[in-house]
Amino acid sequence: MSVTTIAVIGAGVIGLSSSYQLARRGARVILLEKDAVGAGASSRAGGIITGHLWSKTGIEARKISLRLYQELSEELSAYGYQYQAVGCLNLFSPADWRERKNLLPLYAECKLDYGILDAAEIRRRWHQLTPADDMVGLFDPLGGYSEPDDYIPALAQHCRALGVDIRERVTVTEFVEERGQIIGIIAAGELLAADQVICCAHSWTNRLLAEVGVQLPMKSFVHQRYLTAPLEKAARLPAVNANPYGVYLRPAKANRILVGGETANRPEQATPSLAFDMDELLAPRGFDDSLYDKAQALMPALAQTRFQEERVGLISFSMDGEPILGALPDRPGLLLGTAFHSGGFAYNPVAGKLLADLATAGETELNIAAFSPGRFNSLAAAAYSSAKLRQKQVFSRRH
């Protein structure tokens, strides 16, 4: 029986997970990365994971991700990786809670675990958190975080051990088409033939797709997160999405706290060139100080420390806020996985599984029509693509 050759573009967490899943299925996998493994958004992520999403498909997919994260913890423990199942607390103002409450019947239908906590109960469970009296917490006991600096090298090492050929500093510049079928790519000037090509190029996706006359309705925005200097003692906290405070935070290695937040008024980032490096991005001047003040209002113990490290990257959103994952309708041989909003780290294990299922079996157990690249109305998609939007004008999605 012949071995299937799959070319995967982009060694962020989506490309790595796809490669890992494909290698386990016996495929020959070549993973091409224009920079170094993880150099895109993945190494900049906060790594927060929750199953409390907005759509049935998203929720069912995240359930698989959470299970796979637990399994990967065992498989990657040899490389020092552990999923941190500290839970994830989503905080709401009374107005936002009225809206989020409408999703509870869906959570019940999907058999999703959750607890509704008032502010007093939150303060009782986690002494370092001081939410205002009118806040409501929706607690996801299976959520938590995955430390990107541990996870990415461990997954890459495991991929290599499974036979994945990871080629760093190799840029894919073209898709090769024959009679309407994608049969390979051009990388570093050479043709690489493949039975399937999986494009996991995140914000660069539309730059590559322009090659084959396709543009997806997706927008990228600058996003930033910080690490504090170590606290005297480890904080006992869940991961917290504290939207009313405009921040998210979680415990991090070596008694640090990770704090992140978005810049609602910042205009979209134009589709980057293939040469673009996320290190070129800057957070707005003074953003770190204002974020620190907001985080301290929720966690006064932050007064003992300061931010020590900043990471800035891009997050991308599709027109309807759902990921774009699957086959392009009229380009057989090409699969895409992109636009995972600020939740691509949380999605990566299931995204890799779904893409590997599609590449090797042509189908997935989960119905992912809601993620299909072909789901967009072409006129609406063109209007979305040509509009110049700010972060606050796209779907609000936290992890």
Ligand X SMILES: Cc1cc2nc3c(=O)[nH]c(=O)nc-3n(C[C@H](O)[C@H](O)[C@H](O)COP(=O)(O)OP(=O)(O)OC[C@H]3O[C@@H](n4cnc5c(N)ncnc54)[C@H](O)[C@@H]3O)c2cc1C
Binding residues for ligand X, per CB under 6 A?
9-15, 32-35, 39-42, 44-48, 171-172, 200-202, 204, 208, 223-225, 260, 274, 311, 313-315, 338, 340, 342-346, 399
> To the nearest whole angstrom, how small is the minimum distance from the Cβ of residue 290 to ligand X?
16
| Residue with smaller CB distance to ligand X, 30 or 315 | 315
CB atoms within 10 A of CB 129: 25
Long-range contacts of 99-103 (CB under 8 A, 24+ apart): 100/138, 103/52, 103/54
| Residue with smaller CB distance to ligand X, 8 or 117 | 8
> To the nearest whole angstrom, how small is the minimum distance from the Cβ of residue 201 to ligand X?
4
| Residue with smaller CB distance to ligand X, 78 or 270 | 270
Beta-bridge mates of residue 167: 32
> To the nearest whole angstrom, how small is the minimum distance from the Cβ of residue 133 to ligand X?
27
Under a CB-based contact definition with an 8 Å cutoff, are residues 291 and 249 in contact?
no
> To the nearest whole angstrom, how small is the minimum distance from the Cβ of residue 7 to ligand X?
10
> To the nearest whole angstrom, how small is the minimum distance from the Cβ of residue 232 to ligand X?
25
| Residue with smaller CB distance to ligand X, 14 or 194 | 14
Q: What is the SS3 assignment for 388?
A: coil
| Residue with smaller CB distance to ligand X, 13 or 381 | 13
DSSP H/E element including 297 = helix 287-298
| Residue with smaller CB distance to ligand X, 119 or 186 | 186
Name which of 58, 48, 54 is nearest 86 in CA terms: 48
Region of 161 (left: φ > 0; alpha: ψ -120 to 50; beta: rest) is alpha
Q: Tell me the three-class secondary structure of 305-351, residue by residue.
A: CCEEEEEEEEEEEECCCCCEEEECCCCCCEEEEECCECCHHHHHHHH
| Residue with smaller CB distance to ligand X, 183 or 199 | 199
- Where do we find the tokens 């299925």? 25
> To the nearest whole angstrom, how small is the minimum distance from the Cβ of residue 317 to ligand X?
10
> To the nearest whole angstrom, how small is the minimum distance from the Cβ of residue 118 to ligand X?
25
> To the nearest whole angstrom, how small is the minimum distance from the Cβ of residue 121 to ligand X?
24
Per-residue b/e over 239-256, b at no fewer than 16 CB within 10 Å?
bbbbbbbebbbbbbeeeb
Q: Is 286 exposed, middle or buried (0-12, 13-18, 19+ CB in 10 A)?
A: exposed
What does the DSSP 8-state code read for residue 41?
T
| Residue with smaller CB distance to ligand X, 12 or 137 | 12
Structure tokens at 221: 């925005």
What is the end-to-end Cα distance of the chain in Å, rounded?
A: 41
Q: Which residue is nearest to ligand X (CB)?
A: 344
